[in-house]
Amino acid sequence: MRNACLPAFRFLAPWLMGLLLVAPGARAEPYAVDLAVSDEADLRALFEEGVLSEEELETLLELLRTGVEVRTASREALYALPGLTWAQVEALVAYRERVGGAFEAGALVEAGVLTEDELRRLRPFLAGEERGEAGVSGRVRLLSAYGAADALVPPVLLQARVDGPGGLQGGGGGVLTRRHLGPVRYDSRRRALVAELPRAVPQVPKLYVEWEGEHASVLVGTYRLGFGQRLTLDTTGRPAPEGFVPDDGFRVPSGTERRCMLTGTGACTDESEQGRVTPDFGWTEGFRGAVGTVHGQVEGVELSFTGFGSHQSRDLSQYELFDARTRKTPDVLAVAPGKQVPGAARFVSRTLPDVFHELAGGGHVSAGFSPRAHVGLTAWGARPVWAVEGMTLGFQESSRYPEGGDHGALGVDATWGVGPVDLFFEGARSLSATGGGFGAVQRTVLGDERRELELTLRSYGRDFANPYSRAVSGPDESEGLRASNELGARLRYLHRTQDEAWRLSGRVDVWTQPPGSEASGVVQLGTEARVDYVGVPELQPSVWVEHRDKDLGQNGPGLCFQGDSACAGEQYRVAGRVKLEVSESLSLAAQYQHTWVGTRQRPESFQQDGRALLDILFRPVPSLRLHGRASWQDEDLSENTRLTQALRTSLEVAWAALPELGVRARYELAVDLKSPVGSRTPPVPPQHLFRLELEGRFEGSRP
């Protein structure tokens, strides 16, 4: 069966991809599928299924929390909404110009800008129509997670966001961490870095205050920033960033991790230090400081200037550091407050807190000649200041930060559009103490409200080292960076039929390294195709296929796919999903995914992986939501002693007790299905994880 299915799949996949790429009519950019979500739980479920990347999840969570005001949002902000093509964005902007901006979202359906189904999918991401009518409004969230095997205080997250009068708003988040290492310092006696063992510590990593006026806006605190095609500067994760957004996002614990984080003599000898534990709430480090934008019109030209300054303490993996004296990764020994841990216990694969302070600043200036034509210039620079005294530290080649210390980038971007065509370009040069390199991205978008064809060309030099670039790139990395040392082209076609019954999408991505690079001439290929049928609301099937080839010059089994740069194998994947709407209150979904992947362990064939999912959503009353899920994963169907064999189930209950108060509770059970006989490592005992969330909303009348 295995040998028969794979050749057939390899033969059909390119033809199916070709059919999708020439199909008449388009779904929308920038996400893989049309999203039908109502809250954060739905987004996290799509992330667990592999539909959304971590970056897309963070972007959509931020959009879900803040909302987009369709009556005032920029074209770029509207484009970030799931399900909108550039043509639909243009139609929406043209409509609000005709009516003067005073309309409700439902009017977009009456005007033919959106369909009822599209508006239904967008509503969770739209700012409430009542926003601005109250003097003070906002929400407070309290979250906690706890594992049945935990012997620690559970992690806690407190988040708040407040909208005030006069364009003022603020927010932030504080956490109680228990797995966060203590301060890192240099121990001259042992000639090594030392860090204190973790203990329960409150932290407030996200906090901001923002004011927005008619022609200016200012934010002080934590923020994210991006422009153009995300080449010169972007930390937002949005597909078309235009300025700054507040940063108050956190990552919710998922699964468990090893309780012991040490190795060496005297490490984790107590039974209480064995087993697994719930991770802390996590967060990404954007910028921290002040940022502001001023904009206005001068003789018909829309001018805008954004300037920012940041002083951010940054964490770093111990494997991204090197000791300038030994040119090796320094050891990080564990100490307890007031005493030394017996033996030379070392931390393993831990993130070291506040290793260096980054001083950064820069700005962006743009001139807009029409809603679809502008040019802009971005420049920024950063200087790392090491917080550890007594040892000269530097960045490893595998770190995303350039060697030598000071770094930055300078770039120019431009857009132009007419009729169904939009052109986008950005070119940049990275700057560092060791030199720098050039990079360029050009996108051509052709389409209307229902179809969109996009061609993206990219060229990143071997020395283009920009840690704050999120431009389009392949999934591989070069010295810790994705948008570096790469030449590539990506073609995407998105399709939605006139009757809304079929949605199809396809993508072909080809890339290699520039001449003179170690892997120059090795061409990699990634292809995807997906078909969704939603013509019958009660039954909605989906099918998709994927193919990734890390070297088109070498094919066949026996070549590894995952691992180091020497791997040149292939991966094939086919998956199907069926969603059944039993009633307005009950829906079911089942999914199966089968993967063929190259591995050195099987020189004559491909390793076969399987993954299945069952999802149940039940709303007995409008205020109560029950969400059950069971997923099974087997990374090698032919044996059960080596790789992941797992079953995960979860049940989430969300209850809006009052319009101003919501409660969400989640229980997860993870079972390791690996055989206890013959396994290299014994199966992990069943893991139980509980999560609780309380959310309160408040509104005050305008004085």
Place of tokens 């295995």: 2
- Going from N- to C-terminal start, the domains of the chain cover 1-26+486-616, 139-406
Query: What's the token pair of residue 110?
Result: 């009456």
Q: Which of 405, 400, 315 is nearest to 355 (CA)?
A: 315
Low-confidence residues of the chain: pLDDT under 70: 1-36, 49-50, 53-55, 101, 128-134, 265-267, 269-273, 336-344, 564-565, 700-703
Q: Which residues contact 165 (CB under 8 A, 6 or more apart)?
A: 135, 136, 702, 703
Strand extents, DSSP E, 32-167? 136-147, 156-163
Predicted local distance difference test score (pLDDT) of residue 700? 64
Q: Residue 43, Cβ neighbours under 10 Å: how many?
A: 24
Predicted local distance difference test score (pLDDT) of residue 272? 59
- DSSP per-residue letters across 426-486: EEEEEEETTB--EEEEEEEEEE-SSEEEEEEEEEE-TT---TT---S--S--BTTBSSSSE
Query: What's the token pair of residue 141?
Result: 């969230």
Q: What is the dihedral of CA 578, 583, 584, 586, to 10 degrees?
A: -60
C-alpha distance from residue 177 to each of 22, 155, 180, 199, 276 (Å)? 52, 6, 6, 8, 16
Residue 448, judged by CB atoms within 10 A of its CB (0-12, 13-18, 19+), counts as middle
388 vs 668: CA distance, rounded Å:
40
Q: Which of 11, 19, 14 is nearest to 505 (CA)?
A: 19
81 vs 89: CA distance, rounded Å:
10
Predicted local distance difference test score (pLDDT) of residue 321? 87
Q: Give per-residue pLDDT as tens, 26-35.
A: 333 455 555 6
C-alpha distance from residue 162 to each of 77, 134, 167, 214, 660 (Å)? 21, 11, 11, 20, 14
Q: Which of 228, 229, 286 is nearest to 473 (CA)?
A: 229
Cβ 118 vs Cβ 91: under 8 Å: no
240 vs 586: CA distance, rounded Å:
36
Predicted local distance difference test score (pLDDT) of residue 34? 58
Strands 624-634 and 645-658: antiparallel
Predicted local distance difference test score (pLDDT) of residue 49? 67
613 vs 2: CA distance, rounded Å:
22
Q: Which residues contact 324 (CB under 8 A, 6 or more apart)?
A: 392, 393, 394
pTM over 0.95: no
Q: Give per-residue pLDDT as tens, 516-542.
A: 887 788 999 999 999 999 888 788 899
Cβ 233 vs Cβ 224: under 8 Å: no
Q: Give per-residue pLDDT as tens, 45-90.
A: 777 766 776 667 777 877 777 778 888 888 888 888 887 888 888 8
Distance between start and end Cα atoms, the chain = 73
Any idea how long the chain is?
A: 703
Cβ 387 vs Cβ 216: under 8 Å: no
- Collapse the DSSP code of 262 into the 3-class scheme (helix H, G, I; strand E, B; otherwise coil) and give the result: strand
C-alpha distance from residue 614 to each of 256, 578, 587, 645 (Å)? 22, 10, 11, 17
Q: Residue 53, Cβ neighbours under 10 Å: how many?
A: 14
Predicted local distance difference test score (pLDDT) of residue 175? 96
Phi-psi region of 582 (alpha: psi -120 to 50; beta: other; left: phi over 0): alpha
Predicted local distance difference test score (pLDDT) of residue 18? 41
- Collapse the DSSP code of 98 into the 3-class scheme (helix H, G, I; strand E, B; otherwise coil) and give the result: helix
